[in-house]
Amino acid sequence: MRAGSTGAGVKAITHSLQKSRRASTKRSPGSVASWGKGDDVGQVNLTINSRPFVIACDDGQEGRLRRLGQYIDAKVAEFVGNIGQVGEARLLLLAALVIADELADANEALRLERSETREAAAAASSINGIAQRVEAIAARSETS
Q: For 27-37, how does the pLDDT look when each residue is reduced to its tens digit (9 = 90+)? A: 333 434 444 44
CB 6 within 8 Å of CB 78:
no
**117 pLDDT tier (thresholds 50, 70, 90):** confident
Beta pairing class for 32-33 and 51-58? parallel
Which of 53, 51, 49, 48 shows the shortest CA–CA distance to 31? 53
User: Which is more confidently placed, 22 or 39?
Assistant: 39
